[in-house]
């Protein structure tokens, strides 16, 4: 192992992994020590093992808080979705998982495709600064965003009539469909949220190491096995790796 990679990823001798606790698919529980458990923590622990240092989980309540902490020296890697806005201050590895994001609307609405949602007077409920909110902010120009501080609040805002459309992760929308026959999901997904490992900009050698390792973990089945172990293999897809 190249010493410069270890120094870049774990300058304090421990790999501090920033974990987005709001991602219920990648952080699906707690381990026996009360630490975050799931696909994202599994990957963090594997990276730490690869460079032969301990792993310390640093939980954040939201992806926005995790991204904002890039300059605070509170994490060494950040398991977070790769987005253009975040890429201004964070370098991202190859993605190791993808989550579909869809629109949901009421049965009586006239929306038939994603493009029809981006219209004047249409309100879209979304989790503030989630990866799909950032995508919509960049790509939708006419609809109005109704942002909420949690994914649950965004669902409540939609159901309480504060928006005509709800943007959310497809697995969460399927739970709403199962609970009520008043809603329908618009297909196909309007975007796919690519989950990656982020590091502070300026360490290309460390990023190349992460790219190679993640490609290896995809090909070896480590990522697939982790998804199956945590019961999310039917809710996530694995991007192809070189």
In a domain, 242, yes or no: no
Are residues 67 and 125 part of one domain? no
- Per mean pLDDT, which range of 30-39, 58-67, 85-94, 119-128 is the poorest? 30-39
Task: Look at residue 169 and tell me if it is in a domain.
Answer: yes
**Residue 208, domain member (yes or no):** yes
pLDDT at 1 over 80: no
Confidence class for position 241, pLDDT limits 50, 70, 90 = confident
51 touches 16 (CB < 8 A): no
Same domain, 173 and 224: no
- Same structural domain for residues 11 and 85? yes
CA dist., res. 125 & res. 51, Å (int)? 42
Q: 165 with 185, same domain?
A: yes
Tell me if 234 is assigned to some domain: no
Does some domain include residue 175? yes
Mean pLDDT (the chain, rounded)? 95
Q: Does residue 118 form part of some domain? A: yes
Over residues 73-124, the pLDDT tens digits come to 999 999 999 988 899 999 999 999 999 999 999 999 999 999 999 999 999 9
Give the Cα separation of 198 and 155 in Å (integer): 28
79 and 53, same domain (yes or no): yes
10 and 67, same domain (yes or no):
yes
**Distance separating alpha carbons of residues 62 and 177, to the nearest angstrom:** 25
In a domain, 240, yes or no: no
CATH classification at residue 180: 3.40.190.10
- Give yes or no for residue 51 having a pLDDT over 90: yes
Same domain, 51 and 83: yes
Give the residue numbers spanning the domain of 43. Answer: 3-97+193-229
Same domain as 215, residue 163:
no
* pTM of the entire predicted model: 0.84
Number of separate domains in the chain:
2
Do both 84 and 141 map to the same domain?
no
Q: Within this chain, do residues 130 and 45 fall inside the same structural domain, yes or no? A: no
Closest CA to 197 of 48, 119, 95: 95
| Same domain, yes or no: 84 and 166 | no
Q: How confident is the model at residue 3 (pLDDT cuts 50, 70, 90)?
A: confident
What is the DSSP code (8-state) at residue 234?
Answer: T
Residue 146 within any structural domain of the chain: yes
The verdict on 145 and 211 lying in the same domain is: no
Residue 59 to residues 103, 225, 240, Cα–Cα distance (Å): 28, 23, 28
Lowest mean pLDDT among 26-30, 150-154, 176-180, 226-230: 26-30
């Amino acid at each position: 192992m190249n010493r410069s990679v270890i120094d870049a990823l774990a300058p304090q001798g421990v790999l501090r992994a920033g974990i987005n606790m709001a991602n219920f698919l990648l952080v699906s529980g707690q381990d026996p020590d009360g630490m975050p458990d799931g696909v994202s923590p599994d990957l963090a622990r594997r990276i730490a093992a690869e460079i032969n240092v301990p792993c310390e989980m640093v939980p954040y309540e939201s992806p926005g808080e995790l991204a904002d902490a890039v300059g605070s020296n509170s994490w060494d890697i950040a398991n977070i979705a790769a987005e253009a806005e975040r890429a201004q201050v964070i370098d991202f590895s190859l993605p190791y998982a993808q989550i579909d994001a869809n629109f949901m609307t009421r049965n009586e609405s006239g929306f038939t495709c994603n493009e029809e949602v981006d219209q004047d007077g249409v309100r879209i409920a979304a989790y503030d600064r989630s990866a799909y909110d950032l995508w919509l902010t960049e790509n939708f120009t006419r609809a109005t965003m109704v942002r909420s501080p949690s994914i649950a609040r965004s669902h409540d805002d939609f159901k309480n009539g504060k928006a005509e459309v709800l943007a959310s992760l497809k697995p969460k929308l399927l739970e709403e469909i199962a609970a009520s026959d008043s809603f329908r999901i618009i297909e196909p997904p309007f975007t796919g949220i690519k989950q990656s490992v982020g590091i502070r900009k300026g360490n290309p050698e460390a990023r190349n190491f992460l790219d190679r390792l993640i490609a290896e973990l995809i090909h070896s089945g480590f990522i697939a096995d982790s998804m199956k172990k945590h019961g999310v293999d039917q809710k996530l897809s694995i991007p192809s790796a070189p």
